[in-house]
Amino acid sequence: MTAVVERPELEPADPAVMVVAPRARRLNPTLLAGLVLLGLLVSAAVFAPLITPYGPTTQDLSDSLASPGGKHLLGTDQLGRDTLSRLLYGARTDLRVGLLAVVFPFIIGSVLGLVIGYRGGLLDTLVMRLVDMVIAFPFYVLVIALVFVLGPGTRNIYLAITAVGWVAYCRIVRGEVLVAKQQEYALAARAGGIPTWRILLRHLLPNVIVQAVVYSMSDIVLSILAIVTLGYLGLGVPPPSPDWGAMIADGQQFLLDKWWLTTIPGLAVVVTGLGLSLLGDGIVERVKQT
Amino acid sequence: MAYLAFIGRRLWQLLPVLFGITLVVFFMIHLIPGDPASTLLGNRSTPQAVAALRTQFGLDQPLYQQYLDFLGRVVRGDLGSSFVYKSPVRGLVEGRISATLWLLGAGALFSLLLSVPLAVLAASRKGAARDQAVRVVPLIGLGMPTVWVGLMLQLFFALRLGLFPVSGFGTSFTEHAQSIVLPALTVAVALAPILVRSLRTSLLDVLDSDYVLTARAKGISRGRLLVRHALRNAAVSSVTVLGVNIAYLVGATVIVERVFALPGLGTLMLESIYSRDFPVVQGVVIVIAVLVVIVNLATDLAHASLDPRVGVEA
């Protein structure tokens, strides 16, 4: 008798089915929209030198605070730097840092969640208490405090976001493992004498990682927002590297007359977030289909 | 009686969390690369100052002794002394906490005022155009940087239309109330994508339930059904959903305070970061974390009193 465990939305019965099923290869409109939007953004960032003739840090004080149009499509800032160039090169910085900042929490959190969910016991209790400690703090407060104690710089931003971000993945994967390890395929693998590391990596991981991947999409949005916010607060990617957060902060003092200086970089973040959200929702839809 | 026991149980569960908070904050100083004392002092660093700082933080003591001393001081309400202001951190915090509490209260209120109607609108006709329209809110809203939302609201409602003060907190109650509108709205916009999404789901669950089906079978009108049956339950879900996102709400207030120059804890923390005033940063982080715990407890209690099942079940 097969015990059917009721699982909410995202539980592919078998990862092999998920990959092979021909229906799954079809792109749904949400996924497609997300991919197109992000594709455009990434291309704009990659081909920045072809799109704009100005360097992102080239100053022209004789042409500062120029309005959009004419020589500078989106105008210039208070130092006469081309806004479009800073926007495109800023995309390079923010997309790269935002994406990388999710990689380490994803790996560390998932691996920890996998191990403690499977083994349980004292290690599980200890790690989960650590998780409780970290989530007692508001994300921004802890990240800002950590960036402060670690000192400025991109590496420390990664460190701070990792120190706070791993808990979400750990909780998600652990929760999935707690259910998955009781399922027949896992019990069978265990009874068959397969070594633990192999059960974890080959049998459990493919089944439990989907939720973490889905979460990582919204997490990339959060991490880009965090980098933009840190940039705004002057704690982000060190100048003169162009960064959307610093652009928003620079424009703040000219908010009334030169509103575009603040509005445009913010809109860039919104579009990026929209693309990533669509991509995440599209992945959820696609997994549900299988 | 069950309610009192519930409160007691929740308070008991808080102890490990509070202990954890002190542990995390304590270790912050040890994350500073190099010698914390001279790094912290930066250009204020003199041999005497470094020595004084080492004594203040007990950096010459063994680690467990340092932590026990720190814990003892925190429990007594002593958060240390500011480098810059040369006064107790506790006093600084007390001077700044009211603006933060204003923003938290108004932010939570505005979040519900913005999110509940949107969620009701979406759930009232699942899959209809209005539902689809409301579902776009999280898609766009999640990617909006809170600082930017604040600046845009400032641009339109304060600078262009002159309806509210651009920044600051004023001195009288009326001025406080006027100054808090735009910051609270910013917090509400930051929280709305999350709240609308979860509220819509929980409302749809309610509308699918047996008792709503019964009510519908009895011929109760759609509007009455929504207001009398679904919304009552939505009130419970709103409190729960808000409770789950309290840490996020508090985090947002820190950023929003900076944008609107509100003299609250977030601004104090950032000012202290810029002036490298470590004891103040440490003190504010602890107070904010404890604030999250207290607000969490408050929403749990509100939840328990709104929903009679909670106290007994938990």
Per-residue pLDDT tens over the stretch A76-133: 888 878 889 899 999 998 999 889 999 999 999 999 999 999 998 899 989 988 888 8
CB–CB contact B143 A218 (8 Å)? no
Q: Which residue of B has its CA nearest to A228?
A: B145
d(CA A165, CA A162): 5
Q: Which residue of B has its CA nearest to A280?
A: B139
pLDDT, one tens digit per residue, over A66-79 is 788 877 778 888 88
- Residue A288, pLDDT score: 73
- Residue A272, pLDDT score: 93
d(CA B175, CA B168): 9
CB–CB contact A273 B144 (8 Å)? yes
Mutate to test the interface with A, among B148, B153, B160, B293 (most CBs of A within 10 A): B148
Q: Identify the residue with better confidence: A65 or B265.
A: B265
Indicate if the pLDDT at residue B267 is higher than 90.
Answer: yes
- Residue A20, pLDDT score: 46
| The amino acid at B258 | R
CB–CB contact A263 B144 (8 Å)? no
Burial class of A261 by CB neighbour count within 10 A (0 to 12, 13 to 18, 19+): buried
Residue with tokens 């933080």: B57
Q: Identify the residue with better confidence: B198 or B165.
A: B165
DSSP string, B153-198: HIIIIIIIS--S-SS---SSHHHHHHHHHHHHHHHHHHHHHHHHHH
Report percent pLDDT > 90 for chain A.
33
Show which of residues 133-192 on chain A sit within 8 Å of chain B, judged by CB atoms: 133-142, 144-146, 148-151
Quick one: average pLDDT of B287-293? 89
Report percent pLDDT > 70 for chain A.
91
- Residue A135, pLDDT score: 83
- Spatial neighbors of A6 by CB under 8 A, at least 6 apart, are none
Residue B147 pLDDT grade (very low, low, confident, very high; cuts 50, 70, 90): very high
- Residue A290, pLDDT score: 64
- Residue B47, pLDDT score: 84
- Average pLDDT for chain A: 85
CA distance A208 to chain B (A): 23
Question: A135 contacts in B (CB within 8 Å)?
Answer: 247
Residue A72 phi, psi (nearest 5): -110, 110
Reported ipTM = 0.85
Indicate if the pLDDT at residue B283 is higher than 80.
Answer: yes
Quick one: average pLDDT of B216-235? 77
CB–CB contact B32 A276 (8 Å)? no
- Residue A16, pLDDT score: 47
Indicate if the pLDDT at residue A1 is higher than 60.
Answer: no
Q: Identify the residue with better confidence: A80 or B96.
A: B96
Q: Which residue of A has its CA nearest to B247?
A: A138
CB–CB contact B142 A136 (8 Å)? no
Q: H-helix or E-strand containing B82?
A: none
Q: Which residue of A has its CA nearest to B256?
A: A229
Which conformational region is residue A173 in: left (phi greater than 0), alpha (psi within -120 to 50 degrees), or beta? alpha
Question: B142 contacts in A (CB within 8 Å)?
Answer: 218, 221, 273, 277
Does the reported pTM lie above 0.90? no
Show which of residues 197-226 on chain A sit within 8 Å of chain B, judged by CB atoms: 218, 221, 225
Residue A82, classed as helix, strand or coil, is strand
Indicate if the pLDDT at residue B46 is higher than 60.
Answer: yes
Q: Which of B77-81, B130-134, B181-185, B309-313 shows the lowest mean pLDDT across its residues?
A: B309-313
CB–CB contact A136 B247 (8 Å)? yes
CB–CB contact A270 B32 (8 Å)? no
Question: A270 contacts in B (CB within 8 Å)?
Answer: 140, 143-144
Indicate if the pLDDT at residue A22 is higher than 80.
Answer: no
Of chain A, the end-to-end C-alpha distance in Å amounts to: 24
CB–CB contact B139 A274 (8 Å)? yes
Quick one: average pLDDT of B148-174? 91
Q: Which of A21-35, A36-50, A241-255, B140-154 shows the lowest mean pLDDT across its residues?
A: A21-35
Indicate if the pLDDT at residue A250 is higher than 80.
Answer: yes
Quick one: average pLDDT of B287-300? 85
Minimum-distance CB partner of B20 among A129, A262, A274: A129
CA distance A206 to chain B (A): 28
d(CA A280, CA B241): 22
CA distance A221 to chain B (A): 6
Quick one: average pLDDT of B124-147? 84
- Spatial neighbors of B98 by CB under 8 A, at least 6 apart, are B264
Q: Which residue of A has its CA nearest to B194?
A: A218
Cβ(A28)–Cβ(A282) below 8 Å: yes
pLDDT, one tens digit per residue, over B192-219 is 888 888 888 888 887 788 888 888 888 8
Quick one: average pLDDT of B237-263? 85
Residue A217: CA count within 13 A, CB half-sphere: 21
Q: Identify the residue with better confidence: B3 or A17.
A: B3
- Residue B311, pLDDT score: 53
Indicate if the pLDDT at residue B114 is higher than 80.
Answer: yes
Indicate if the pLDDT at residue B235 is higher than 70.
Answer: yes
Report percent pLDDT > 70 for chain B.
97
CB–CB contact B289 A278 (8 Å)? no
- Residue A74, pLDDT score: 80
**Range of A14-28, A202-216, B231-245 with top mean pLDDT:** A202-216
Minimum-distance CB partner of A137 among B144, B147, B247: B247
d(CA A283, CA A280): 5
CB–CB contact B144 A136 (8 Å)? no
CB–CB contact B292 A232 (8 Å)? no
Q: Which of A216-225, B12-21, B118-127, B232-241 shows the lowest mean pLDDT across its residues?
A: B232-241
